[in-house]
Amino acid sequence: GQSLEQPSEVTAVEGAIVQINCTYQTSGFYGLSWYQQHDGGAPTFLSYNALDGLEETGRFSSFLSRSDSYGYLLLQELQMKDSASYFCAVLNSGGYQKVTFGTGTKLQVIP
Amino acid sequence: DGGITQSPKYLFRKEGQNVTLSCEQNLNHDAMYWYRQDPGQGLRLIYYSQIVNDFQKGDIAEGYSVSREKKESFPLTVTSAQKNPTAFYLCASSPEGLAKNIQYFGAGTRLSVL
């Protein structure tokens, strides 16, 4: 089976940097993605790592270490609108494109 | 505009009734997915389909059924066997190739029991 662990809640100050961690256990691994979901809305794609290292997309960066089965999402210059839930997700490398999501981290940005 | 359309936005189910949630995409994506999300929880996979006329059970398929007769459509039926159907249902699609792990979501359907 597959499982992903994330912290349930994180609070950070506007303008600061915050890191959301994700550890995973999977029988086959293709890549790690991150999604953002505001309350009442649908998840939107943020970032994807198939190889080890850092991927940067504007204020958001994502890191992957395949040997440690670990990744993180880094949000810089936090804004109030970044308050949302963040999910990591893995795609297995089997014959079917099955995706498993983590339980999500609720980020609260405070003034 | 390209995207995923889910309907209806809100749906109410009576005891013993089957209801069908619609999901249509015009992104020309091969893979489509249905997820259930309970308040304050993550997304749990109900069913997924990689190609037309083929679909696989996810982690919580009991009480649900799907069909994939056309590439652009992946309807989900919540049957009377699903005793606790109240949740937020999300449909998603993804393309083949390097972007395999990018999913595009519809706006969702909120299902409640009367």
Closest chain A CA to residue B98 = A50
Q: pLDDT at position A67, please?
A: 93
Q: What is the pLDDT of residue B41?
A: 86
**Which of A47, A103, A108, A11 lies closest to B99, judged by CA?**
A47
pLDDT, averaged in runs of 10, over chain B (114 residues): 90 91 95 92 92 92 97 96 93 75 91 89
CA distance B9 to A76: 34
The whole-angstrom separation of Cα B21 and Cα B35 is: 12
Q: Kindly state whether A39 is in contact with chain B, defined as any CB-CB distance less than 8 angstroms.
A: no
**Section A70-99 average pLDDT:** 89
pLDDT, position A96: 65
Chain B: closest CA distance from residue A50 (Å): 9
- Split at pLDDT 50, 70, 90, the class of A76 is very high
A96, A101, A102 ranked by CB distance to B56: nearest? A96
Q: How far is A31 from chain B (nearest CA, A)?
A: 7
pLDDT tens string A14-66: 999 999 999 999 877 788 999 999 999 999 999 999 899 999 989 999 999 99
